[in-house]
Amino acid sequence: MYQSATAGRSPATLATGYVDDIDQVVEELADVGVEFVRYDADEHDARGITPRAGGGRIAWFQDPDGNTFAIEADA
CATH class (in words) of the domain with range 13-73: alpha beta
**pTM, two decimal places:** 0.85
Within 10 angstroms of residue 59's Cβ, the number of other Cβ atoms is 27
CA distance 35 to 26: 9
CA distance 40 to 23: 21
CA distance 51 to 53: 7
| CA proximity to 51, closest of 39, 68, 63, 67 | 39
Confidence of residue 1 (pLDDT cuts 50, 70, 90): low
67 membership: H or E segment, kind and range? none
pLDDT in tens, 10-65: 888 889 999 999 999 999 999 999 999 999 888 999 999 999 988 999 999 999 88
